[in-house]
Amino acid sequence: MKKFRLAIIFTLLLTFGLVSFANAAVVNKQDNNVQWLGHSATLITTEKGLDVFIDPWITDNPKCPVTKENINPDLILVTHNHFDHMGTDVPYFVEKNPNCIVVVHNDVVSALNEMGITEKNIVSYGMGLNYGGQAELEGIKITMVQAIHNPSAAGYIIELEDGTTIYHAGDTGIFAGMELLGNLYDIDLALLPTGSTFVMNPFQAAHSLKLLKPKKVIPIHYGTFEVLVQDATEFVKLSKKIAPNVKIEVLKPGGSLRL
């Protein structure tokens, strides 16, 4: 009888959240998950369950293994207004999640407006960001940084709720400011374009690791088009020589890395 009474009391306490199992925090602790969806498209699911979608090119992305119906982002970060980065699915995502915020360079805002996306769903009261600008959204700090590509191309430093820091370079050649980024931010993971032609070639990308000093790197923006380097072999070979301390994570499109 006494045991029965204790069980009832314990159940009530649990119900009202007054006690929790000592290891509950451990059981519930999720890692951050970074999923590469081919080309530059990257989906980060944070430990708190937020979905951050960078370069949301799904429809017509020949390497993307999922359809847009599988994705419901809270935040969308667009590095620049080219078809293989902005894509055409942003209005679909915003309609599906009316609270979704799109982060873009302020020169790209008008293109979003033309897609029917209004102020309410665009960062900084509809004005976008420019280099050095930071937005804190849902506890995630997003800083726009330069990229050497077309005039309003950007990269992002993304500091997640638990402090994990990710650099998504967008489309870029190597630039001296990468050393500054490496000094200012303790980068846990860099996503770097390695496919040459429009972005860093494997040699530049491997050298950029020396400047950025990330703990890990995922090579991206290769193998999508015939004109790009088709795989990560050369990048891996050079990186092992040039930046041996960086852990190289070559993913298949759809593959994930937990951080």
For Zn ion, the binding residues (CB under 5 A) are: 84, 171
Which CB sits closer to Zn ion, 140 or 199?
199
229 burial (CB, 10 Å; 0-12 / 13-18 / 19+) is buried
CB of 21 to Zn ion, least distance (A): 48
Which CB sits closer to Zn ion, 84 or 188?
84
* Residue, CB closest to Zn ion: 171
Instruction: Give the C-alpha separation, 86 to 69, whole Å.
Output: 17
Which CB sits closer to Zn ion, 84 or 159?
84
CB of 95 to Zn ion, least distance (A): 25
Instruction: Give the C-alpha separation, 94 to 8, whole Å.
Output: 46
How many residues can be counted in the chain?
259
| CB proximity list for 119: less than 8 A, separation 6 or greater | 125, 126
CB of 104 to Zn ion, least distance (A): 15
Alpha helix stretches (DSSP H) within the chain: 2-15, 24-28, 90-96, 109-114, 123-126, 177-184, 202-212, 233-242
Which CB sits closer to Zn ion, 56 or 159?
56
CB of 78 to Zn ion, least distance (A): 12
Q: List the 189-193 sheet strands across, edge first.
A: 134-137, 140-146, 154-159, 165-168, 189-193, 216-220, 247-248
The β-bridge partners of 168 are 156, 191
Which CB sits closer to Zn ion, 69 or 226?
226
83 burial (CB, 10 Å; 0-12 / 13-18 / 19+) is exposed
CB of 198 to Zn ion, least distance (A): 6
Which CB sits closer to Zn ion, 87 or 182?
87
CB of 245 to Zn ion, least distance (A): 28
